[in-house]
Amino acid sequence: MAELAGLDSEKWLIIGFEISGADHGHDLRVIAVHRDLIPEAADVLPKIAAEHGEEIPATEFLVRDVAPYDVLQAISHRFELRMRARGARDLPIRITSRMDGPEQPLV
């Protein structure tokens, strides 16, 4: 992922990524922590957060000229993407049945 984003893995520790988009297209953003902030320890992220007001100071990099979903296919064997309506975001959802949707015409 570091190479794809053009980041020097000696300088940056990638802690996540985000995919966002709308009608105009989709963006891939990589979230990374500069290695200068990483203490010498095994479980470093909680220590970084403790030293910075319980937050991890990170940098977000926009990755250009890369299809976000191609990245997902390349780095994962399996993934899930879940989106919820705003009114349902904090409410538990229980799936009570499963069905096939109607056939869609080819466009």
DSSP state string for 60-94: EEEEPS--HHHHHHHH-S--------GGGTTS---
**Cα–Cα distance between 107 and 104 in angstroms, integer?**
9
| Per-run averaged pLDDT (10 residues), the chain, 107 residues | 85 86 80 86 83 91 84 76 77 78 68
- Each domain of the chain, given as residue ranges in start order, spans 2-77
Strand-pair partners of 30: 17, 61
Determine which helix (DSSP H) or strand (DSSP E) holds 51, and give its type and residue range: helix 44-51
pTM for the structure as a whole = 0.59
